């Protein structure tokens, strides 16, 4: 897999301070230059089973590579108090006031309760690793595998076999657990899917072709996906109050996220797992 690399300045620095002024007013900006990666991200592109499988497999390959990662400052990746750490789902309580829909707020509260009761006591049984932390549709670059293989589906959308051309944004890297990265990935790839319920199965199949999850990790996956939905939706709603000028970006998840969270919650763990695990199992016979 490919990722962007920093290009140093002429003074051998990774970042440089840039001053921009108008009259007596000046603003300071930190600027860095990164190498270019080809492709486009998956935002707004419904991912088919083939690319979802590749995404799951690539994520596992990254997790496996990061297991061997060593650095003198590796302790900085132990982000134990970070709001976006799935282990800190309870910290959502202080932001829930921003969610005005009572039913949605109650769903999130119940998800937090279930995490504290069912997952937190068993968390040390999960495989530990350094994780990407934000393996989302906006951070995965794809491009056509064969430019001559274009065809249209029944809805008239152009279909191409895609390959992953690069991975962006390692800024959320942290010490965590394999299953956290899988849950985060499933949550974000669900957003633009034309078949959202099956997304988890295709990603899981790809991931487990490299790193099989344990029974305990599989048992936690459904609730962890709901936890990530809760984090993204609550933080997004809260941040719109703080930064209304950035609403368009913050609505990326909110536009469809609440609908998907409600659907998964209403279907329940058993029904969703049945779809995911049967979909993943079907790859074993191919």
Q: Alpha helices, DSSP H only, in 23-84?
A: 49-67
Distance of alpha carbon 170 from alpha carbon 135, whole angstroms: 9
Phi, psi of 10, rounded to the nearest 5 degrees:
-65, -20
Position 87 scores a pLDDT of 95
Position 24 scores a pLDDT of 67
Residue 154 has pLDDT above 50, yes or no: no
Average pLDDT estimate for 233-239: 95
User: Which of these ranges, 120-129, 176-185, 220-229, 247-256, has the smallest mean pLDDT?
Assistant: 247-256
Q: Which residue has the higher pLDDT, 190 or 19?
A: 190
Average pLDDT estimate for 199-213: 98
Phi, psi of 127, rounded to the nearest 5 degrees:
-70, 125
User: Which of these ranges, 110-119, 127-136, 156-165, 276-285, has the smallest mean pLDDT?
Assistant: 156-165
Position 155 scores a pLDDT of 43
Measured CA to CA in angstroms, residue 253 lies from 28, 43, 52, 279 at distances of 31, 10, 19, 25
Distance of alpha carbon 254 from alpha carbon 163, whole angstroms: 28
Position 147 scores a pLDDT of 63
Q: Which of 120, 106, 128 is nearest to 220 (CA)?
A: 120
162-167 and 174-177: which strand pairing?
unpaired
Q: How far is CA 264 from the centre of its chain?
A: 17
Structure tokens at 36: 């270019």
The backbone region for 44, taken as left when phi is positive above 0, alpha when psi lies in -120 to 50, beta otherwise, is left
Position 159 scores a pLDDT of 61
Structure tokens at 193: 């899917």
Residue 22 has pLDDT above 70, yes or no: no
Residue 31 CB burial class (10 angstroms; 0-12, 13-18, ≥19)? exposed
User: Which of these ranges, 28-42, 147-161, 193-207, 263-277, has the smallest mean pLDDT?
Assistant: 147-161
Position 98 scores a pLDDT of 96
Model confidence at 286, in pLDDT bands (50, 70, 90)?
low
Percent of the chain predicted with pLDDT > 70? 93
Biggest CA–CA distance in the chain, Å, is 69
Could you say which of 48, 80, 104, 134 is catalytic?
134
Average pLDDT estimate for 178-203: 96
Q: Is 150 an annotated catalytic residue?
A: no
Count the residues in the chain: 286
DSSP 167-186: E---TT-EEEEHHHHHHHHH
Report CA dihedral (161, 166, 169, 172) to the nearest 10 degrees: 80
Residue 158 has pLDDT above 60, yes or no: no
pLDDT digits (tens, 9 = 90+) for 62-89: 999 998 888 888 888 888 899 999 999 9
Task: Provide CB contacts within 8 A for 268, sequence distance 6+.
Answer: none
Residue 51 has pLDDT above 90, yes or no: yes
Average pLDDT estimate for 226-243: 96
- In the chain the first and final C-alpha atoms are separated, in Å, by 25
Residue 248 has pLDDT above 90, yes or no: no
Other beta carbons less than 10 A from residue 11's beta carbon: 6
Structure tokens at 134: 């934000």
Average pLDDT estimate for 50-69: 94
Position 253 scores a pLDDT of 86
Mean pLDDT of the chain, nearest integer? 89
Element at 141 (helix H, strand E): strand 140-144
Q: Which residue has the higher pLDDT, 23 or 187?
A: 187
């Amino acid at each position: 897999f490919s990722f962007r690399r920093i290009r140093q300045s002429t003074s051998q620095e990774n970042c440089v301070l840039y001053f921009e002024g108008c009259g007596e007013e000046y603003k300071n900006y930190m600027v860095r230059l990164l190498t270019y990666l080809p492709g486009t991200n998956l935002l707004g592109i419904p991912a088919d089973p083939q690319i979802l499988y590749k995404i799951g497999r690539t994520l596992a390959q990254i997790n496996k590579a990061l297991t061997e990662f060593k650095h003198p400052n590796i302790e900085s990746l132990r982000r134990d108090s970070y709001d976006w750490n799935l282990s800190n789902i309870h910290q959502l309580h202080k932001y829930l006031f921003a969610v005005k829909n009572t039913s949605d707020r109650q769903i999130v509260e119940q998800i937090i309760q279930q995490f504290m009761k069912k997952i937190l006591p068993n968390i040390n049984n999960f495989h530990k690793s350094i994780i990407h932390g934000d393996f989302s549709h906006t951070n995965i670059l794809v491009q056509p595998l064969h430019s001559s293989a274009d065809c249209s589906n029944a809805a008239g959308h152009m279909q191409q076999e895609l390959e992953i051309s690069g991975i962006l944004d390692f800024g959320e890297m942290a010490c965590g657990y394999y299953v956290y990265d899988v849950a985060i990935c499933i949550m974000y790839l669900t957003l633009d899917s034309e078949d959202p319920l099956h997304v988890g199965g295709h990603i899981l199949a790809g991931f487990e072709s490299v790193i099989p999850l344990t029974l305990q990790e599989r048992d936690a996956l459904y609730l962890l996906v709901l936890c990530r939905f809760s984090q993204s939706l609550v933080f997004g709603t809260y941040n719109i109050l703080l930064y209304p000028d950035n609403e368009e970006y913050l609505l990326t998840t909110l536009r469809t996220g609440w609908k998907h969270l409600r659907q998964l919650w209403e279907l329940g763990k058993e029904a969703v797992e049945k779809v995911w695990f049967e979909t993943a199992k079907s790859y074993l016979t191919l």
